Structure 1
Amino acid sequence: MSSVKRSFVSGFLWSLLGQGGYLSINLLTSIALARLLTPYEFGQVGIVMFFITISKVLTESGLSGALIRKKDANEDDFSTVFVFNLLVSVVLMLTLIMSSGFIASFYDDIALQNILIALSFVLVINAFQFTQNAKIVKALKFKKQALYTFCSVCFGSLLGVSLAYWGLGVWSLIIMQLTNAFVLTIIYRIFEGSAGKFVFKIDSFKTVYKFGLNTTIASIINTAFDNIYSLILGKYFAIQQTGLYYQAKKLQEIPVGVIKSSTLGVVFSTLSGLQDDKKKFDGLYSNIVTSFTVLVGFICLIIFLYAEQVVLILYGEKWLGAVFYMKVLVIASYFYMQEMFNRVLFKIFDRTDKILLLEIIKVLIMAVSILVGIREKDIELLLYGFLATSVLSYFINYYHSRTVYNGFSWMEVFLTLKVICIGTAITLIIESIKNFFSLDVYAMLLLFPLVTLLYIIFLRMFKVTNVVKDTKILLTMLKRG
């Protein structure tokens, strides 16, 4: 196996293991907390996390990708980014603190003020771990990243569940978030050294920020509209609905998030090193696209089919309202993941201006669907609008991504649609079996092996991929490497 393939496979496996461990702990924690707390308390945190998430994007400013992509990044570049992140984090923290009273009044819940003030400190804490993490990703040392993250999440989650059990309510969620960030920062400081010197070089900043500017604005828009439903549900419907949506989103993001977090970073880092070797780039990219689409499609299919069972088993009957959210979100996430994969090409070939343009188009489409949903006061219409936006955005992004790489081809579009057709066919088959045999909710779980078998067979029939053959090839490659 070539050194590039070996680095990619090793990085992917460790990143997958790390994210899998991280999200598994999150799942166990969510189960425990969901049974100890109420949808209303999760709704409060869901509203506040909108502002924290947007602030994190502003703090990062796309500079992580710039440092990773820059082949000759030096200590001055890393120190400059550290100083910038720290200053922006402090400014944003103070802004959130000063705005907390207004936000609490807007939602007619005074408790939101103290929640927002407390969580705003996460921004400054994260600033002291940002550059070390960028160095690890740049060097493809995903094993270290996985271990560090796993340790911090374990500690924070254990504390959060303990506090919820002792009756601290919503504050158990807040303290857990702060602890996760603080412990990870300490780990980075011990094993990777300081976050950077207090050195700010104008030339270094101009170099990295040129890359990060467009991605930052695009990320802000994307993050804002991706999380805006928490605000809308809390304001125009009920904070409890925000809680249901927030938990459904977390459940749906656990398996999908594993693939996103473990794959996109590794793909970007690896392919960035091959941007000047078109032959190797094309070969690796083509293989990755097929595997990525097939894997994401299977995960989304399973979540859609077993959303009710998952909610009942993990959270209990009081959370059944989250099932609808999960089903819509997971279909949308399939197209969203394809969109994110296409955007890697914009970053690699330094066309981040395209990302910004496409994000603006996406926002305009989504804004219309949101206004219609609010006007009609219809939650289902609101979510279906989100789904339609995700589908349209994928096709628009795909077309433009091929203008910067290798020209337009329908092959990947057909691949995406084939997987959708396979998922639809399997869903109809499973629903027919369920109705014919009058299977109850839990008996449906017995059909999981059949779902997996049908997926593998249909992939072969539709000439998408030969799972058995490709798995053997992968195992052989790993053995030789």
Structure 2
Amino acid sequence: MQNTSLKSTATKGIIWTAVDKFAVQFGQFVVSILLARLLLPEDFGLIGMLAIFITFSQIFIESGLGVGLIQRQDNTDIDFSTVFVFNLGVSSFFYILLFFAAPFISNFFNQPQLTNLIRVLGLNLFVIAIAIVQRTKLTIAIDFKSIAKSNVVGMVVGGLFGVLAARNGYGVWALVIQTLFGSMATSVSLWVFSSWSPSIAFSKTSFKSLFGYGSKLLIAGLYAQILNNIYTICLGKFYPAASLGYYTKAKSFADISSGTVVNVVQQATFPVLSSVQFDREKLVSIYSRLIRMSAFFIIPLMTLIALLAKPIVILLLTEKWVSLIPLLQWMVFARIFYPMSALNMNLLNAVGRSDLFLKVDLSKLPLTILAMVITIPLGVKAMIIGHVVTSALAFLINAYLPGKLYCYGPIQQLRDMFPFFVATIGMAISVAFMVFLIDNLVLQLFLGTLLGVVTYLFICWLLKLKELTEVWELVLKFKIKVGF
């Protein structure tokens, strides 16, 4: 692939992935606000109790095989059919398992209504499984435009049915309805846009080859989800459902911004990085630019959310969510290094080193266990503060191996991020001063956002940061070259 062609493909992929993620996240953000105003924190807490079981099942259904198809580059139709059959078989197994385990899950959390909730919500496993290969095919083709359209359709349909259900008094079931209808609409759209039709063929040879790569990602995914959700389990078990509701809402708010950046760079750049995995110079060039561009967006964004947490929560979610404010302020800082950490891990997958991916992930286990032991007895806020500390240390660990392999480790990455921290500090001072002077929450939110953006971009311009120019060029390319 020629340099210009690769750059054009990567740029267009990033643009359409950004459209996808930001449009979907914005839509989901609006829907979540409407649902939060109509429902109670306890409703979100009940769904949060089920999240780990659904997420675990989805990891087994995927088993890293989709990522293996993207990374391998020379797939045959039998490879795709093998993954399709595997996805359907495993989704059936886990739904049956969840169906019969539902009463035990309900008893564990002492919430009787969880039995029916998980039996209905578990149907989402089938809905997701039937479209995994279609999404993978579109990703390999770098057809993020079709993926974007599918995701937007799912967000709109799910949001519409969820809000209607909440307005008609369905309570926690509105969240189940939103999930199921959204997933169904997305899966149908992916089938429409993908030209691939499955067969019932299954190749043991193909499966062994793909699973050899994907098994490490499966183990890493299970390990990561255990660590991510152990807090949810403990909160659901030992604290009121409302406490878990506040925690999950703080996490979802933080992930709307940080998680969106991660999804954009991972989905759009993984096939591109895989295609240049044997060209060291080009690989490092793309990789380092992604680190800087992620920092350009995420560091000021998370800081601004923390500064304006009070007007955001009270104006958007109402006073009944006021306990969320300090949790949100800490949670966004726990996510500030998340995109850069994910990029470091994504690089290992792109070059086919899923074994190193697993080793790096497992090396963080003692750190996480220590944080859990110290903070879980102290309450929700202490747990999130523990997230802040462990996420910063996790970034250093995640960047270590890429540093050894490509001479672009944590020190070099932090050096590249330093100007963005400087610009963010200048922005934070101006916004904090404005919030101190103005008591009106509406003005705080409006003027704080405007002042923060203008101040940050102005300081970046003074520092002559090239990322500012690159972002402007991306905007112009999107206007001129990309048609909807």
Q: TM-score range by the shorter chain?
A: over 0.9
- Label 1:461 to 1:357 Cα distance change in 2 as closer, same or farther (>3 A): farther
Letter in 2 for 1:232: C
1:73-128 Cα distance to aligned partner (Å, 9 max, x none): 11111111111111111111111122211111111110011111111111122111
CA distance in structure 1 between the partners assigned to 2:62 and 2:109 by the alignment: 28
Alpha carbons 1:275, 1:281 under 8 Å: kept:
yes
Letter in 2 for 1:347: N
Residue 459 of structure 1, CA deviation: 3.5
Letter in 2 for 1:150: V
State the match for 2:244 in structure 1: 242
Which range is displaced more, 402-411 or 4-13?
Answer: 402-411
Q: How do residues 189-338 of structure 1 correspond to structure 2 at under 5 angstroms? A: 189-192=191-194, 196-338=198-340
Aligned residues: 478
**Structure 1, unpaired ranges of 5+:** none
Alpha carbons 1:138, 1:269 under 8 Å: kept:
yes
State the match for 2:28 in structure 1: 26
Work out whether 1:426 is the aligned partner of 2:403. no
Residue 439 of structure 1, CA deviation: 3.7
State the match for 1:395 in structure 2: 396
Find 1:126's aligned residue among 125, 128, 140: 128
Which range is displaced more, 310-319 or 423-432?
Answer: 423-432
TM-score of the superposition, structure 2-length normalised? 0.93
Residue 189 of structure 1, CA deviation: 3.0
- Label 1:381 to 1:248 Cα distance change in 2 as closer, same or farther (>3 A): closer
- Label 1:107 to 1:300 Cα distance change in 2 as closer, same or farther (>3 A): same
CA distance in structure 2 between the partners assigned to 1:356 and 1:124 by the alignment: 28
1:361-396 Cα distance to aligned partner (Å, 9 max, x none): 223211111122233x33222211121111111001
CA distance in structure 1 between the partners assigned to 2:130 and 2:28 by the alignment: 23
Residue 402 of structure 1, CA deviation: 1.8
CA distance in structure 1 between the partners assigned to 2:477 and 2:284 by the alignment: 19
TM-score of the superposition, structure 1-length normalised? 0.93
Letter in 1 for 2:393: L
Work out whether 1:450 is the aligned partner of 2:441. no
Work out whether 1:405 is the aligned partner of 2:406. yes
- Label 1:417 to 1:365 Cα distance change in 2 as closer, same or farther (>3 A): farther
Residue 212 of structure 1, CA deviation: 0.9
CA distance in structure 2 between the partners assigned to 1:152 and 1:166 by the alignment: 21
Letter in 2 for 1:443: L
Letter in 1 for 2:337: F
CA distance in structure 2 between the partners assigned to 1:231 and 1:411 by the alignment: 37
1:150-205 Cα distance to aligned partner (Å, 9 max, x none): 11221121111111111111111112211112222222334425662111111111
State the match for 1:379 in structure 2: 380
Cα RMSD, aligned residues only: 2.2
Residue 468 of structure 1, CA deviation: 4.5
SS in 1 for 2:336: helix
SS in 1 for 2:150: helix
CA distance in structure 1 between the partners assigned to 2:408 and 2:13 by the alignment: 29
Residue 14 of structure 1, CA deviation: 0.9
**Structure 2, unpaired ranges of 5+:** none
CA distance in structure 2 between the partners assigned to 1:120 and 1:287 by the alignment: 40
- Of all paired residues, the percent bearing the same amino acid is 26
1:24-68 Cα distance to aligned partner (Å, 9 max, x none): 221121111111110011110111122111211121111111111
1:413-463 Cα distance to aligned partner (Å, 9 max, x none): 22335534543453344324433x254433323133332233234445667
CA distance in structure 1 between the partners assigned to 2:267 and 2:358 by the alignment: 19
SS in 2 for 1:310: helix
- Label 1:421 to 1:385 Cα distance change in 2 as closer, same or farther (>3 A): farther
Alpha carbons 1:236, 1:374 under 8 Å: kept:
no
State the match for 1:172 in structure 2: 174
State the match for 2:187 in structure 1: 185
SS in 2 for 1:168: coil
- Label 1:249 to 1:379 Cα distance change in 2 as closer, same or farther (>3 A): closer
Work out whether 1:349 is the aligned partner of 2:366. no
Alpha carbons 1:129, 1:195 under 8 Å: kept:
no
- Label 1:148 to 1:422 Cα distance change in 2 as closer, same or farther (>3 A): same
State the match for 1:6 in structure 2: 8
CA distance in structure 2 between the partners assigned to 1:116 and 1:472 by the alignment: 46
Which range is displaced more, 75-84 or 362-371?
Answer: 362-371
- Label 1:25 to 1:434 Cα distance change in 2 as closer, same or farther (>3 A): closer
SS in 1 for 2:265: helix
Find 2:94's aligned residue among 80, 92, 95: 92
CA distance in structure 2 between the partners assigned to 1:194 and 1:88 by the alignment: 21
SS in 2 for 1:276: coil
1:253-284 Cα distance to aligned partner (Å, 9 max, x none): 22223222222111111111111223332333
Alpha carbons 1:234, 1:242 under 8 Å: kept:
yes
Alpha carbons 2:438, 2:444 under 8 Å: kept:
no
Residue 331 of structure 1, CA deviation: 1.1
